Amino acid sequence: MALDPIISAGVIYSSILVLLALGLTLTYMTTRVPNFAHASFATIGVYIALVVTRVWDASPYIALPIAFAVSGAVSLALYTFVLKPLIRRGAKPAIQMISTLAFDLVLIAAINIAADYIVHLYDVTSREFTLRSYDASFADLPMVLFVSPVLIAAIVFCLHYVLHRTKFGIAMRATIENPDLSSVVGINVKMVYGVSWFVGGAMAGVAGVMMSLWFQGDPSLGTFLIPSIFAASIVGGFASLYGAIAGGILVGMAEIFGTRIIAGEFGSWLIAYRPLVPLVFIVITLLIAPKGLAGVDWKNLARRLHVTRS
Amino acid sequence: MENNSAISVTGLVAGYDNTTIIDGVDFDAKDKEISIIVGPNGSGKSTLLKCMFGLATIHSGSVRFGSRDITHMQPHTIAREGIAYLPQVKNVFTNLSVDENLKMAAYTLDSKGYEQRNEHVYETFPQLVRHRGDRANTLSGGERQMLAMGMALVRMPQVMMFDEPTANLSPKLAGEVLDKVAHVRDSFGITVILVEQNVKRALAFGNSVTILANGKVAFSGSSEEVRAQPELCKTYLGISQ
Ligand SMILES: Nc1ncnc2c1ncn2[C@@H]1O[C@H](COP(=O)(O)OP(=O)(O)OP(=O)(O)O)[C@@H](O)[C@H]1O
Ligand SMILES: [Mg+2]
């Protein structure tokens, strides 16, 4: 089946951004800390996929549950051992944010060490590697093209179900809105925060496994994604999981298709400026709709558009 | 009749972060009685309640619940110990439905006990029934206050602290809510700590009164003593008899 590779790129990249923006938004909604180490949780997933395929010679999809657990645990460690003590000592949000940057530096260094160690131990390329050949195919198309959107849909469905149908999920929503009142009714707020950090990191790990089947793997892969993840979350309002989904799709599609269309019009030299796309999204959103898609009063907007038309 | 203290606060100095709002307060809530806290706006009534629930910064002094020291306990553990607290503001989850609010209020209870008490709340506040599935931010001010009251009642703890439960309510409903508070004490033997603007009404059934002014105790004694001192009523409570 012939399919313009740009469509695969758009679908896969958007799915990955949705998953990463969801996790980042979830941790931001609970603890109110913008986590700059988030993308490196995905890089961990990339390296787990590397080990599973090249060293164990297994299907890359085996890496999914492992990355879920490991990235989730690293994320929980950031909250438990760095943020929680800082918050207890009354650290301001800016300090908490910078501590996540510091954690990211440590994490990237650790991933680099792990990469070197993998070369040393198994004689496997661990920088600028690609795992696309390990992916299965379906109708002559890479499997990840189908797996990524389906997996995202499943995760979103599970999240929605948990948040609205289970007692703990409702407690999470309660804690996001009003941590003081939540503790008054007996909810262990810090435990809820810990769970959301685990889930946020775990989703990033899953995104990382899918990244490994599409992008060139490298310890710095996450760093290049950070502006796009923040753009997706900010466009989504940073306060709503559904906003993060919309933001991920919008920014992902714009980066892939927008760059292609503009390059087609003005020349291919523009492709090099693709990293500007997320930054433009951040600036525009913060200027005209600081609360993002989630903050737009759609009903009111529709009414106003209707009035101006008639 | 001399009773044991359910809650006793001694030498409390507290506030928010580095500020001091409560400045050397002693306060006792006797078992199975209603203790009223009154005082001018900003005198620290809400802050005193928050101290008892681990929601303010305690600089020195202690809070005891029965024989246990709860001064530095975390709020969610205090809730599990059997104290319920109805805050003055932001006392419902506005993004959750009425049903979900009550479910959260009963977070520490098992589901069987919850179902029963849940129905009891709807019997007490029938106005809430048709809003069961609605988000709390669509409720009127009065309905929201009823929901907050219901959230405290659903727990049926040993001690209940109410911070101005009749604010936003019509005089008729305010009367019903205060009757409910008295009922809770009489039928279930629950200790009540009540911050109330409607002093005259509260004095009618309260057992003891503490008057706060500027973070200090200006007076403390029984309701009869307060009523016998018109001076006190005039200066602090704005009522004349
Ligand atoms: N969260 C807070 N952070 C800092 N200061 C606060 C906070 N809440 C209250 N205060 C301050 O503490 C003082 C006492 O407030 P508090 O709410 O305890 O008064 P109150 O007696 O309950 O008043 P009211 O009758 O108006 O409810 C006020 O000066 C207020 O500005
Ligand atoms: Mg108050």
pLDDT tens for each residue of A228-279: 999 999 998 888 899 999 999 999 999 999 888 888 888 888 888 888 888 8
Question: Mutation test of the interface with chain A: which of B55, B88, B91, B93, choosing the one with the most A Cβ atoms within 10 A?
Answer: B93
Choice from B13, B22, B36, B46 to test ligand 1 binding pocket (greatest atom count within 8 A of CB): B46
pLDDT at A310: 58
pLDDT tier for residue B1 given thresholds of 50, 70 and 90: very low
pLDDT score at B26: 96
Query: What is the average pLDDT score of chain A?
Result: 91
Query: What residues does CATH 3.40.50.300 cover in chain B?
Result: 1-82+161-241
Cβ-contact A143, A258 below 8 angstroms? no
Q: What is the mean pLDDT of residues B114-125?
A: 86
pLDDT number for residue B214: 93
Look at strands B34-38 and A141-142 and give their pairing.
unpaired
How do B83-86 and A141-142 pair as beta strands? unpaired
- For B53, name the nearest residue in chain A, comparing CA atoms only: A184
Which of B106, B184, B29 lies closest to B176, judged by CA?
Answer: B184
- The DSSP secondary structure of chain B, one letter per residue, reads ----EEEEEEEEEEESTT---EEEEEEEEETTSEEEEE-STTSSHHHHHHHHTT-SEEEEEEEEETTEE-TT--HHHHHHHTEEEE-SSS-S-TTSBHHHHHHHHTTTS-HHHHHHHHHHHHHH-GGGGGGTTSBGGGS-HHHHHHHHHHHHHTT--SEEEEESTTTT--HHHHHHHHHHHHHHHHHH--EEEEE-S-HHHHHHH-SEEEEEETTEEEEEEEHHHHHT-HHHIIIII----
Whether B87 has a pLDDT exceeding 70, the answer reads yes
Nearest CA to ligand 1 atom 1: B16
Model pLDDT for residues A208-239, shown as the tens digit of each residue: 999 999 999 999 999 999 999 999 999 988 88
pLDDT of B125 above 70: yes
**A1, pLDDT greater than 60:** no
Q: Does domain B1-82+161-241 have CATH number 3.40.50.150?
A: no
- Can you give the pLDDT at residue B64? 95
Rounded to an integer, the average pLDDT of B81-85 is: 93
Q: Is the pLDDT of residue B85 over 70?
A: yes
Q: Is B74 on the interface with A (CB under 8 A)?
A: yes
Look over chain B and give the mean of its residue pLDDT values, rounded to a whole number: 89
The span from the CA of A293 to the CA of A306, in Å, is 20
Q: How far apart are CA B98 and CA B128, in angstroms?
A: 8
**Is the CB of A174 less than 8 angstroms away from the CB of B93?**
yes
Is the pLDDT reported for residue B4 higher than 70?
Answer: yes
More confident of the two residues B234 and A30 = A30
- Confirm whether the ipTM is greater than 0.90: yes
CA distances from B61 to B6, B54, B68, B71, B160 (A): 17, 13, 14, 8, 22
pLDDT at B35 over 50: yes
- The tokens for A281 are 């999204």
Q: How far apart are CA B124 and CA B116, in angstroms?
A: 13
How far A231 CA sits from the closest chain B CA (Å)? 26
> Poorest-confidence range of A6-15, A256-265, B14-23?
A256-265
Residue whose Cα lies nearest atom 31 of ligand 1: it is B42
DSSP string, chain A: ----HHHHHHHHHHHHHHHHHHHHHHHHHHH----TTHHHHHHHHHHHHHIIIIIT---GGGHHHHHHHHHHHHHHHIIIIIIHHHHHTT--HHHHHHHHHHHHHHHHHHHHHHHHHHHHHH----SSB--GGGS-EETTEETHHHHHHHHHHHHHHHHHHHHHHSHHHHHHHHHHH-HHHHHHTT--HHHHHHHHHHHHHHHHHHHHHHHHTTSPB-TTHHHHHHHHHHHHHHHTTSS-HHHHHHHHHHHHHIIIIIHHHHHHHH-GGGGGGTTHHHHHHHHHHHHH-TTHHHHS-HHHHHHHHHHHH-
**Closest C-alpha among A67, A65, A61 to residue A47:** A67
pLDDT over threshold 70, residue A101: yes
pLDDT of residue B54: 93
Cross-strand pairs, B163:
B195
> What's the pLDDT score for residue A22?
96
Say what the pLDDT of residue A301 is: 77
Tens digit of each residue's pLDDT (9 = 90 or more) over A151-173 = 999 999 999 999 999 999 999 99
- Does B44 reach chain A within 8 Å, measured CB to CB? no
d(CA B36, CA A104): 53
Structure tokens at B72: 């530095």
Mean pLDDT of A49-64: 95
CB B193 within 8 A of CB B38: no
Please compute the mean of the pLDDT values over residues B10-27 and round it to a whole number: 94
Separation of CA A195 from chain center: 17
For B95, which residue in chain A has the nearest alpha carbon?
A177
Q: Which of B80, B103, B155 sits opposite A167 (nearest CB)?
A: B103
CA of B196 to the centre of ligand 1 (A): 15
The beta-carbon neighbor of A90 closest among B17, B93, B103 is: B17
- Model confidence over A289-302: pLDDT tens digits? 888 887 777 777 77
- Predicted pLDDT of residue B89: 94
Confidence of residue B3 (pLDDT cuts 50, 70, 90): low
CATH number at residue A218: 1.10.3470
Domain count, chain A: 1
Q: What is the DSSP string of A59-70?
A: -GGGHHHHHHHH
Q: Is the pLDDT of residue A185 over 80?
A: yes
Q: Pick the residue with more confidence: A84 or A280?
A: A84
Residue B13 structure tokens: 């100095």
- Alpha carbon distance, N-terminus to C-terminus of chain B: 27
d(CA A125, CA A134): 14
Query: Does residue A78 contact residue A87 with C-beta atoms inside 8 Å?
Result: no
Distance from CA of A196 to the nearest CA of B (A): 18
Is residue A127 predicted with pLDDT exceeding 60? yes
Smallest Cα–Cα separation from A33: which of A67, A77, A78? A78
> What does the angle CA A211 – CA A213 – CA A215 come to, to the nearest 5 degrees?
55
Q: What is the mean pLDDT of residues A196-202?
A: 98
Tens-place pLDDT, residues B180-197: 888 888 888 899 999 988
Residues contacting B67, CB < 8 A, separation 6+: none
Residue A78 belongs to what domain range?
Answer: 5-309
Q: Looking at residue B168, what is its pLDDT?
A: 79
How far apart are the C-alpha atoms of B197 and B216, rounded to whole Å? 18
The model's pTM is 0.91
